[in-house]
Chain A
């Protein structure tokens, strides 16, 4: 069977696939770190940070978000690192980053001062501008990971799934 791939290139690997792998790994590692630091602390602490944004009216809903969002970040991060369902994971990570960017911009527009962005739980406390810069960078990485798909070192590629 004729193939377009050159003999020394992994099946499905396209030029620039290393960039896709790098984007996937960076994005995945940041999501694992942020999810871990939030999930390892009590949900009430992350709920308190969500309250600062004044975007969610119900205290009960805030607590539900605080309980589940870190685990979703963590699973998304591991999916990206392992290359499992890469495109859906990249889409999820990109969507989360977009939401984080909009949340930060809305606090700036309303003149709210955040004592802590909440991005990394008890860990790092970047300023709102640093957070925005990081979120834009991660959103770009999510786009790159989505575009390239699971071409290298990925479970998707290994099991021949059609997600790449």
Chain B
């Protein structure tokens, strides 16, 4: 019976591609050789992801110089504006302002999410981005393809909710797991080595 259970679960789990914690350089911060690597799969329209911004900042401050953060897009289907927002953030990233745009999107989440994406161009303007290049990028299939690649990466690694964090490969789903279990996990790695 235990064997039947194990076979059922393995069949449902299926084959999964190896996980690649890679992203363009503009979506990474912190020293490349840091002992702690946090990969965040996030959705700009997801309120829980907005609530995770502050805890992530606290972690970066607490372990300054020892943490490398990689952002991965994971726009959920239930959030219709999440994918356009991810593409807009990619376009800001191409101009070297991904993290500033990230802040804008989370700070104004309630506004643009309700207004069907209105505001993406205004945030670009507020950050002093090249507006023509930004607009052209929004229509560029390559920008959407980058987002789609992240989504596939998440799917391949059983990311089903946002935010999902991987700290040196270990999964933490949601902010509570990040703070209550993730921080002790970071401390343990720093104490004993990876």
Interface of A toward B, CB cutoff 8 Å: 32, 35-37, 39-42, 44-45, 47-48, 51, 59-60, 63, 71, 74-75, 78-79, 82, 84, 122
Contact = CB atoms under 8 A, between A and B. Distances in A.
Contact of A59 (B4, B5, B158, B177): B177
Contact of B181 (A63, A78, A122): A63
B181 A32 contact: no
A42 B12 CA distance: 12
Contacts of B10: 40
B134 to A, nearest CB: 33
Contacts of A51: 174, 176-177
B1 interface: yes
B9 interface: yes
B9 A40 contact: yes
A81 to B, nearest CB: 9
Interface in B159-194: 160-161, 164, 171-174, 176-177, 180-181
Contact of A36 (B12, B172, B174, B177): B12
Nearest to B13: A40
Nearest to B157: A42
Contacts of B174: 48, 51
B5 A44 contact: no
A74 B8 CA distance: 9
B58 to A, nearest CB: 17
Contacts, number: 58
A82 B3 CA distance: 13
Given A39-B9, A63-B177, A74-B9, 12 more contacts: A36-B8, A37-B12, A40-B12, A41-B13, A44-B171, A45-B161, A48-B161, A51-B174, A59-B177, A78-B1, A78-B5, A79-B1
User: Chain B: interface residue count, which band?
Assistant: 20 to 34
B2 interface: yes
B72 to A, nearest CB: 16
A91 to B, nearest CB: 17
Contacts of A122: 160
A148 B4 CA distance: 25
24 contacts: A35-B5, A37-B12, A39-B9, A40-B9, A41-B13, A41-B160, A45-B160, A47-B173, A48-B161, A48-B173, A51-B174, A59-B176, A59-B177, A60-B181, A71-B5, A74-B5, A74-B8, A75-B1, A75-B2, A78-B1, A78-B5, A82-B1, A84-B1, A122-B160
